[in-house]
Structure 1
Amino acid sequence: MLGFVRSASPSALIIAIGLLVGVSFTLSKYVAMSDVPAFLALFWQVAVASAALLGLLFATRITPPTAPRYIGYYLGAGLLGVSLPALIGYVVLEHITTGFYSALVTLSPMFTFAITAMVERRMLPLHRLLGLLIGFAGISLATLRGLDTSAIEPTWILLALSGPFVLASGNVFRSRVYPAGADPMALAAGTLFLQLALIGATLLVSGRLAEIAALKPMVFAAITGIGLITAISYALTFEVQRRTDGVGFSQVGYFATLSGITFGAIAFREELSLAFIAALLLIFLGLAITSGHLSRSHFRQAAGLPRFRRCRPRPNPLH
């Protein structure tokens, strides 16, 4: 992994990934509206991402490990973190708006918190839940107008809801099964290479491999952009996962939604309201609390209050 990435804080990387994912939502919407089969779009997305990471591997002389435990990790991380979420996105974005889907993705942190608590059979620290709830309140404020579901069939809403659940499952899987000491770039490349092989084999068996060349230039350009974002964001994902857990990483969903709103404002000249600015502040506050940058000791220091320590009783010399 590049030096400046290793030196960046997990919070900064989470924000960067969220911004990239938000842009990919908009591009995925364009691809979905172009009547491109979801499996075909996924093939090109993973192919471009794999090619980009392959170039980085040659430059850094890193080789993905091929031991059985790594192959299992590549398979689980790829299905839960790449293929299934992308397929769900390509399918549902043809029937629902980008803003609504982005808003649903913000459920991923709450799902991640719940799944982690169930898997570890313990209640996670309350300050982390507080940070997630503050971030969720912020994103709800930003997407209040985009939650009108009256024109959307319940089937597509349920399918769209499976997206954040799969993402949450991927967050927990990568965190719990992360191979100790592994290079994040090697893990990202191995994960994408295996997914490309599986998708290519599926297209070959189904007799649809010849369709991969039947794409319009603008659609292919959009998928290329999604693939490059996938390569960069996934490499950053494994770096973040190396230094934090699934609950902390899951807050990518909040920034992905805000990125989509911001990108829409730039591309379509939509105005940013005061509610959006307030939402942004709430999300940053929630991230700071969940990641531990803000704690009770920080609030005491900011208020100028002394820090009290619990004193042990002194032994009685008469005893």
Structure 2
Amino acid sequence: MQPSKARSGALPKQKRLAAFIYLVAGGALLGLSTNVAKLAGDAQLSPLAFLFWSITGAALILLAVAALRSNLPPVTGRTLEYYLVSAFVGVAGSNLIFFSAIPHIGAGFVALVITLPPLLTYVGALIVKLERFQMTRAIGVMSALAGAVTLAAHKLSAPDADYVWILLALAGPVLLAIGNLYRTLRWPAGVSGDALAPGMLVAAAALLFSVGLLPGFSLGIPSGQRLPLLLIALQSMVFAGQFLLLFLLQKTGGPVLLSLLGSVGAVVGVPVAIVLQGEAAPEGLLPGALLIGTGIALLNIGKARQLA
């Protein structure tokens, strides 16, 4: 069954439970990944090199699992298109933006920015008719957007605000939302999520490798140090779990539920950044988080009413 079928009816109870488990676990891994990226920057790993080697490691892990299950990614014209487009918007492009922005604006702010895809995905789903309009969910979108604007305004008003990186970070959720919708609309018929995930990661690694060949970019790892290699290994395992859960959630819950991964990720990522990494809490955190949380709650309430 393709994930687009989720547009028309209620999910069985067991699938709703599975979707909830995938959402919580995948979101926790997402929140963890932003903080590991902050540690990688402190260890003198460039965002591109760290992302490339971590994605390559995750691809190898998922390919090994797929081979053991005799469920390797199929290679056809349709699936190659799917891997490449999904890799660019959902992995390589968006994560390169986020990882590059972390040293400039902090892991906590980036973790909050990643809460925006549910709103953008819902608006896009309305446009392409994957969702029908509902006032409760529309109010939720407006509330969460107001929260995002509050956070961005406080960040931009800071004396040392890095306007370029703040605006670039805000572009990342747009790519994620496009990816959420694309993967649902173009999911290849008869192919499972655990076969598509490694295919997407292989394509993402290839895209990042091609960027590394451009002048001024490098995929090099600091020599004579164990910490960068340990962080790459850790992020590879995090990415492998995160993107496998992403596809499982996409199939069971659809694009809007999938996009809540960022919200769960913020619940993990922001406290870790503040408590364990010593970052200052983002300005406007309380009102911004309350508005975003209210918006997400309204989105979920509206979805529950649709499924009732």
Fold shared, TM-score > 0.5 on shorter chain: yes
Task: Report deviation, 1:34.
Answer: 3.4
Q: Which amino acid aligns with 1:240?
A: L
| Deviation of the 1:113 alpha carbon | 1.9
Alpha-carbon distance change, 69 to 260 in structure 1, aligned in 2, over 3 angstroms = same
Change (3 A) 1:152 1:60: same
CA displacement, residues 22-61 of structure 1 (integer Å, 9 cap, x when unaligned): 0111111122233322221121011110121122113212
Range moving further from structure 2, 68-77 or 203-212:
203-212
Q: Which of 235, 239, 245 is the equivalent residue of 2:244?
A: 235
CA distance in 2, matches of 1:218, 1:102: 23
Instruction: List runs of 5+ in structure 2 lacking aligned partners.
Output: 1-13
Instruction: Work out whether 1:289 is the aligned partner of 2:268.
Output: no
In 2, distance between residues paired with 1:217 and 1:200? 23
Q: Percent identity of the aligned residues? A: 26
Query: Which residue matches 1:103?
Result: 112
3-state secondary structure, aligned to 1:245:
helix
1:14 and 2:10 matched: no
Partner of 2:188: helix, strand, or coil?
coil
> What residue is the counterpart of 1:219 in the other structure?
228
Bigger RCO of structures 1 and 2 (CA < 8 A, at least 6 apart): 2
Relative to 1, partners in 2 of residues 1:212 and 1:68: Cα closer, same or farther, differing over 3 Å?
Answer: farther
Counterpart residue number, 2:98: 89
What's the CA shift string for 1:256-307, capped at 9, x where partnerless?
Answer: 111113334663699x9xx79x969858844642442xx3997xxxxxxxxx
3-state secondary structure, aligned to 2:66? helix
Which residue pairs with 1:40 in the alignment? Answer: 49
| Matched-pair contact (CA < 8 Å) for 1:135–1:254 | no
- 2:65 equivalent in structure 1: 56
Coordinate RMSD, CA, aligned: 3.7
Is the contact made by 1:11 and 1:291 (CA closer than 8 Å) also made in structure 2? Answer: no
Report whether the alignment pairs 1:259 with 2:258.
no
For 1:221 and 1:158, locate their aligned partners in 2 and report how far apart those are by CA, in whole Å: 31
Are positions 1:178 and 2:184 aligned together?
A: no
**One-letter identity of the residue aligned with 1:11:** F
Deviating more after overlay: 107-116 vs 40-49: 107-116
Pair 1:256–1:290, CA change in 2 (3 A): farther
Q: Please say if residues 168 and 250 of structure 1, whose CA atoms lie closer than 8 Å, have aligned partners that are also in contact.
A: yes
Q: Which residue pairs with 1:80 in the alignment?
A: 89
